[in-house]
Amino acid sequence: MNEIEMYTEKIFEDIKHIDEYGNEYWLARELQDVLGYHQWRSINDLIERAKVACKESKFKIEDHFAVQRKMIQLAKGAIRNVIDYKLSRYACYLIVMNGNPKKEIIALGQTYFAIQTRKQELSEKEYNELTEDEKRLYRRNQARKGNYNLNKTAINSGVKDLARFHNAGYKGLYNGETADDIFKRKGLRYREDILDNMSSEELADNIFRIAQTDAKLKRDNVDNEYTANSVHYEVGKIVRKAIKEAGGTMPEDLPTPNKSLKEIEKEIRLINNDR
């Protein structure tokens, strides 16, 4: 079995961390193990080159390479204080781009971390310059982070059944449609994600719903599941009304893209592997 058969993107997902603000990050020493570097100096060389590239791209190094100190246990019980880094997705991308692409795990890492290599927040000009597929990838990541935060807020608000809670929001925004109804209307295959099959505009509608629900649950100090579900439904309806009043297209009337984001990501991997 070759490396590309052994490894999938799950290996990078498994070492991803989420901080208390919903931001994703990776630890350099965990990334070192995944990439197959047995000595710290090997991965550290890549990190130093990545820092230079980060600086040349006009980004702040400390925003993407946060220095951490940690204690590790050596042989015979000895303890040593060592350096580590809390890495952003962009930092990881720069690191693997400086690695040897002939190593299948490096090539896979280049694809995985290429999904979002820009700043967490794009300017309007930068966003408008993206292709539709790039906008979808960007918005999908925003929706993923938003749902992570919303799930935490919902649980703190007394929600036990997250599926029912999310369906309440969809029903408000999609004129009564549940996630399963949307899935069937889009004609998706088993286990496909509806968010992976939305246009950038439809994703933006849902991001607004997610963010406003999160804010209202906190603002109103909601403490029970019934009220939380009602809030999500009502916010969905409010977003729907705003779209209508602005003369926009109702989300259920927006076309489903020809390709899911999973297919697009697969194509990116194939292109990178052919390089």
* CB within 8 Å of 149: residues ≥ 6 apart: 22, 214
Lowest pLDDT segment from 29-43, 103-117, 118-132, 237-251: 118-132
Cα(122)–Cα(192) distance, rounded to whole angstroms?
Answer: 28
The beta-strand segments (E) located in the chain are 17-18, 24-27, 65-73, 79-87
Cα(87)–Cα(93) distance, rounded to whole angstroms?
Answer: 10
Maximum average pLDDT range among 78-92, 184-198, 253-267: 184-198
Given a cut of 70, is residue 50 above it in pLDDT?
A: yes
Q: What is the pTM of this model?
A: 0.59
pLDDT tens sequence across 132-167: 988 898 889 889 889 999 999 999 999 999 999 999
What CA–CA distances, in Å, run from 224 to 159, 163, 209, 217? 7, 16, 20, 10
Given a cut of 90, is residue 120 above it in pLDDT?
A: no
Domain boundaries, the chain: 3-118, 124-261
Given a cut of 80, is residue 270 above it in pLDDT?
A: no
Instruction: Find where tokens 């995944």 sit.
Output: 34
